[in-house]
Amino acid sequence: MENILMNKSAIELLKQWDPFHIGVDNYDTEAADVVAALQGIDDPSKLAKIIQTVYEHSFEQWIPFEKCVEISYKLIAIKFEAKCIV
C-alpha cells in the first residue's frame, strides 16, 4: 500500500515539475524511471544525479544539478511520509 501511495505522489510531483516547460504530460517515461530509482535510494544527491541523467538523456538538454537536488528532497520526503502512514 505504501509503495502505491508513494509512487502516485512521486509521479504527480515529477509531472508537475516540468523542467523543460513542455507540458506536464510529456514526462511519463522519465517519471517512471526516477520513481523506480527512488525505491532504493535515500540519498538526495544520488537521486538528483539519476534525475539529471534520466532527463538529460531523454531530452538532450542540461538541467542544473541544484534543481535536481531540490526535486530529489521532495521525492525523498514523499517516500518517508508514505512509510509513516502505514
**pLDDT reported for residue 81:** 83
Q: Report pLDDT digits (tens) over 21-35.
A: 999 999 999 999 999
Tens of pLDDT, residue by residue over 34-85, are: 999 999 999 999 999 999 999 999 999 999 999 999 999 999 999 988 777 5
Q: What is the pTM of this model?
A: 0.90
Cβ 74 vs Cβ 13: under 8 Å: yes
Sign of CA dihedral 16, 65, 35, 77: negative
Average pLDDT (5-17) is 92
Q: Model confidence at 12, in pLDDT bands (50, 70, 90)?
A: very high
